Structure formats: C-alpha cells, structure tokens
Chains A and B, each alone.
Chain A
C-alpha cells in the first residue's frame, strides 16, 4: 500500500516536472533526436524499475540468469581477451606469425581463410581467379594445414577456424595435423565458426542448400561431442546480421533463432542438450551506441539462460551461460576522416566491456581504406589497454547494473527479441524464413531505412553527411600477390601428381556414398583429407550430391 502510494506520488511529481520544467525549456530550444532502434524516453526514473525482481531477473554475477555476467569475478579475475588483427598471406607466412604469437604466450590464433577456400574452390579453379590469398590464407589440402601448424606446440594453441559452409573440411584438416603432431584428441582445442544459417541471411558464403548444410553442421557437432571434448563447435554470429544492416533487436533475434534451429537439429540427431550446449559461443557486433549495446549483451545473457533452462531443459549451468565475443562494427567505420574511427572503436570496445563480453576485437582505424599498418593495428590494441587499465570500467562488475535507463533497455530488448523470435517460429521457423527469403528481406529493409536516415540527414555520420571536409585519403587494397598465387598453384599441382591418386579416388567415392546415405560425413571427410584430397575435390563431391544454393532474387 505504501509502495503504491509512493509510486503514484512519484508519477505525479514526474508529470509536474515534465509540464512545468521540461516543456517550457524544450519550447525554447529542442534538438532533433538521434534515430534509435529502440523507443526511448527522455528520462528514466525509479518508476521504470517497477516489476523487476532482483534475484529472478538480475541475480549475482556467475548466477542464473547471468544478466550481470557469466562469471562471479568477471574482469576482477581475468580481463577480457583482446583480439587483434589476424593477418593473412601464404601458409608459410601464417605459420611464422603463429609461431611468434605462441612464443608470446598467445594461444588464440585467428585463421582467416581466403574466399575460394571458404567456398570450397581450389586455388587453380577458374572461379578463384583474382581472389587467392586476398582476404585470408589459401588452404587447398592437408599439406597447407601442415605448413601452417606443423611443428608448433599445438597443445597450447586454440585456433579459431573462420569457416562455415566447409567447416567440416577445415576441422578435419586441423584434426589430421594435430594427430600428426601427437596431440591427443581430448586435448585438441579451438573453434569452428560453423554458423551456416547466418551465411544465408547475411554474409553470403554459402555453398549447399540449407538442409544439407544443416546436416554438415550437426555432423561436426556430433563428431566433436564424441571425440573432441574441448572443441568449441560453433560461434553463432549476430555480428554479420548487424553488418548486413539489421537493427539491434534483429541482431539478437536472428542469432538466437538460428541457435534454436541448431539446437533442435542436434536434439533430433539424438544428442543430449548438456553434451553440446556448453560448446556453443557467440560473436556479436558493437556500434557506438554505448548504452543500447551494453544492454544488448546483458539482455542476450538472460535470454539465452532462460531459453536453455526453461525451454530446452538444460541442467548444466555451463549450458545456460552465454559466452560471447564482440567486435567493432565495420559498417560504422568511414573512409572519410579515418582518424574519427579511433574514437568510434574506443566507444564500441567500451560498450562491449560495460556489457561484460569475454573477448573484444578492435578494428584498426584505417581498415575501411587499407591493409592496417603496424601502427594502426597496435593502436587498436592500445585502445583496449587504455580502457582496461585507465578507464576504471573493469574495476566494478557490471557497472551499469541498476541504472534506471540500462535496466529498462535490457528488459525492453528481451521483450522485443522474444516477440521477434515468436513471430519467426509462428511463421514456420528460420529454415522456412530463409527459403521464402523473408529473413533476408527484413534485414534488407532495415539496411535501407538506415541508409535513408543518412540520406535525409536524420542520422548524422560525422565526416560523411555532416562536418565534412575535402581531403579524403586514398584507398589502398589488399591485392593478390602474383608470387603467392603462383606458388600456391604450383604446390597444388605437384600435390595432385605426387599423392596416391587411387587412394584419393577411393576416399572420394566413399564420401559420395555416405553423402547419398545418412551417415555422419565428418568420418569420410577426415579420410579424404588424410589421403590429401583437396578442398575443391571434397566440395565438388558434395556439390554433386547436394546441389548448390541459389538465393532467390528479389
């Protein structure tokens, strides 16, 4: 009774303030609001805390529903992992870089593959022309993986293989090298991105149609639960959904809707939820909208915990924990006035830290223009170090917890994401949304609306549509280096001559047979990889059996 009385007094006081104090001030001068993905009030007060239950909705760090963080000590124990620009080039150069990083005690090795490798084309395929070794390293066969990882202390390594449609092939190659190096399977550590559904709705590096793609995804997970207990089977990406132009709510909703689709497919395969859920991790975006982004990570933790425990009945706390990395939103970085990106990246990293993520990747300020220089790559790392050691943001766990504003945003994001997911499911789920092009269209519409806001100057992008100046710096690109391409193709062609081609044919025939049946394809892929079949040959067999996906035009 008392509380209700207090509340209505507060409500009246707020209304009085709005009428007598705020309105006259705004009548004198009122600035146009920045466009927002979430509806916001001008001011948040204790009125907005009504109905929130501290133990049930927030709890303590390390406790369900993990809104305040997945670990009890968070950054008091260990700081987040500061990810750096990954580098690229030939397998030989990648090896040298990784040897250096391992020598420095950095086990987290990010392996970016070039587009032909990601799409299952060999380096001498006509479709690979002009793209070999450009956005990452070219890996045609086990021989290249041996060059990259051979002779390194792999028990200390945790490579992240950024592969999706052909993730099984990349994992098979890594497993084969680790075996050669004498690492017991139980100690092989690392990550495959293996998030194929976001390729259909956002990133575009799909090969096969959605259903056979899902089969390969689950094959990888099933194989890992049986043989590689330390492998992180999947990195579910909201990151690329947002980069494709989605709203904040769509980023979370599509990532979780994809996650639900994977979980259901694994359960259908007969896997136990707690056998694989702890090996799922997330990769999210960070824009400059500090408070909304921080609230997003908090909301995602609570959504995931409730989803896993309440809907999927997971018993293990590890299954309830939303482990996530985040990275600066490349789409917010501008080619105009590139130094402004230093400020943007710092805000984005701060958002991630205030939101309690486990790792953050800061982009170099000149990434929109050029191969990051040593200087800009170092500055990206220093940005995180300043935040870690000078800002004070790491000194208190979940420093924004209890903010009227941020808690309200957290609730609002949870509600809106749940509503979005419910609609996707009512309409038949993600696979149907992909088949019918609805998910793609919804994201494209958000991208268009965002661009319209920039066109009409409703949204300000400093240096692009406001506060411009004329001296735009020159763009420089990663270019194919002919000597790298030639060397890669020469290695590939001599491999095809020197390997036991009868064994390759046998392994590929066995793969084809299994692909036409319903067995787990990780095993025949591993055999084909061990026989030095190339990624192009393996994927050609699967293309033949499964067909290739063609996106519906619009």
Chain B
C-alpha cells in the first residue's frame, strides 16, 4: 500500500504573457481550493522567470500555466527551461487555454504533462492533479 499523503497538494496557478483573461485561472484556483489543495495564484502578466522562481521557492507539487493570447509555445518553452535550470525539472507542468492540437503535441515534447482546452471539466483537472501527485 502506498503511503497516504497527509499534507495538502500545493499548486501554482500562473498567468504568463500580456493577456488579461484570467476567468479560467481564477475559477480553476477556486475549484482546487474546494478540493482541499493549497493554491498560489500569481496574478496577471508574470514573466516565465518569475513563475519559475515562485514554483521553486514555494516548493509546489504542480504548476498550472494558463495562456489565451497565442504566445504559449514561447512562454512554455521558457518556463520548462527555467525549471530545468533550477534543477526543478521534476515539478510537473500542466497547460490550459486556447491551444491548437499541433501545439499540444509540441508542448508535450517540451515536457508539459497535459494540456486542457476550453470545455475541460474542473473535476477532470483536479482529479488529474490528484492522480499525478499521488502516483
């Protein structure tokens, strides 16, 4: 039997780039809190470097990155690289937003674990995170 985790799952919800669409990020943060997780929301317009810093300093279990501006390929690449450079490449990164299929494949090649597009259910996302962290 696997050891049962007693501390709450810590998640960083991040909004890189210039876009101001954070309805999804805030709704997700709320759902994760309701699911008993500890959530840190960065607020808008964070640079990839700041997101990496927060992820490392706050010792989070998962980083969820929301991008709706179309600049995802560049932003995710910088976050993944930054985490690896800080020896934190093992922190799983999830993506969310308006992201085309061919880019989802690209993001997964970069090491992004999963990408959730519009219409994804909150239960599916929180369930995925729980499985990911307890695995």
Q: Which of B18, B21, B100 contacts A119 (CB 8 A)?
A: B18
Contact with A along B50-90 (1 / 0, CB 8 A): 00000000000000000001110111000000000000000
A204:B21 contact, CB within 8 angstroms: yes
A455–B123 CB distance below 8 A: yes
Q: In which size bucket is the chain A interface?
A: 35 or more
Q: Of B3-11, B39-47, B106-114, which binds chain A?
A: B39-47
With A475-B98, A551-B43 in contact, do A464 and B23 touch (Cβ < 8 Å)?
no
Interface mask (B22-38 → A, CB under 8 Å = 1, otherwise 0): 11001101110000000
Taking a contact as CB atoms under 8 Å apart, the answer to whether B27 and A134 are in contact is no
Chain B residue with Cβ nearest A119: B18
Complexed CA–CA distance, A336 and B118 (Å): 9
Judged by a CB distance under 8 angstroms, whether A273 is at the interface is: no
Does A245 sit at the interface, judged by CB under 8 A?
yes
Q: Which of A129, A448, A550 has the most CB of B within 10 A?
A: A448
Q: Is the CB of A476 within 8 A of B100?
A: yes
Verify if A331 is at the interface (C-beta below 8 Å from B). yes
Selected contact of B23 from candidates A115, A243, A553, CB within 8 Å: A243
B91 within 8 Å of A by Cβ? no
Report chain B residues within 8 Å CB of A448: 26-27, 30-31
- Shortest beta-carbon distance from A550 to chain B in Å: 7
**From A369, which residue of chain B is reached at the shortest CB distance?**
B98
- Contact at B117–A475, with CB atoms within 8 Å? yes
Q: Separation in Å of the A336 CB from the closest CB of chain B?
A: 6
Is B99 within 8 A of A475, CB to CB?
A: yes
Alpha-carbon distance A474/B100, docked complex (angstroms): 7
Q: Quick check: is B131 within 8 A (CB to CB) of the other chain?
A: no
Instruction: Verify B122–A130 contact, CB threshold 8 A.
Output: no
A476 contact set on B, CB distance < 8 A: 100
Distance in angstroms between the alpha carbons of A9 and B47 in the assembled complex: 69
Q: Are A455 and B19 in contact (CB under 8 A)?
A: no
Q: Is A433 an interface residue (CB 8 A)?
A: no
Any B CB within 8 A of the CB of A217 = no
Query: Does A127 sit at the interface, judged by CB under 8 A?
Result: yes
Q: Is A135 an interface residue (CB 8 A)?
A: yes
Do A205 and B20 touch across chains, with their CB atoms under 8 A apart?
Answer: yes
Q: Is the CB of B21 within 8 A of A444?
A: no
- Check B100 against A475 for contact (C-beta < 8 Å): yes
**Is A47 positioned at the interface, with any CB of B under 8 Å from its CB?**
no
Closest residue of chain A to B20 (Cβ to Cβ) is A204
Contact indicator A130/B74 (Cβ below 8 Å): yes
List 28 A–B pairs whose Cβ atoms lie within 8 Å, in order of A's numbering. A115-B18, A115-B69, A127-B47, A130-B71, A130-B73, A130-B75, A131-B70, A134-B70, A135-B69, A135-B70, A199-B20, A205-B20, A244-B23, A245-B23, A335-B118, A444-B23, A447-B23, A447-B26, A447-B27, A448-B26, A448-B31, A451-B122, A455-B121, A455-B122, A465-B121, A474-B100, A474-B101, A475-B101
Determine the chain B residues whose CB is within 8 A of the CB of A451 once the complex forms.
Answer: 27, 31, 122
Nearest B residue to A129 via CB reads B74
- B17 interfacial contact with A, CB 8 Å: yes
Give me the interface of A with B, judged by CB distance under 8 Å. 115-116, 119, 121, 127-131, 134-135, 199, 203-205, 243-245, 331, 334-336, 368, 444-445, 447-448, 451-452, 455, 464-465, 474-480, 550-554
Given contacts A130-B70, A335-B98, A444-B27, 9 further A-B contacts (CB under 8 A): A119-B18, A130-B17, A244-B23, A335-B119, A447-B27, A475-B99, A477-B70, A477-B98, A551-B43
Say which residue of A116, A203, A368, A452 sits within 8 Å of B18 (CB atoms): A116
Contact A477 B119 (CB under 8 A): no
Which 5 residue pairs are nearest across A and B when measured between Cβ atoms? A204-B20, A130-B71, A115-B18, A475-B100, A130-B74
Please give, as numbers and ranges, the residues of chain B lying within 8 Å of A331 by CB-CB distance.
23
Chain B residue nearest in CB terms to A330: B21
Q: Is the CB of A464 within 8 A of B27?
A: no
Residue among B20, B41, B43, B45 with the highest chain A CB neighbour number at 10 A: B20
Q: Which residue of B lies closest to A336 (CB)?
A: B119
Q: Which residues of A contact B29 (CB under 8 A)?
A: 554
Q: Which of B18, B41, B43, B122 has the most CB of A within 10 A?
A: B18
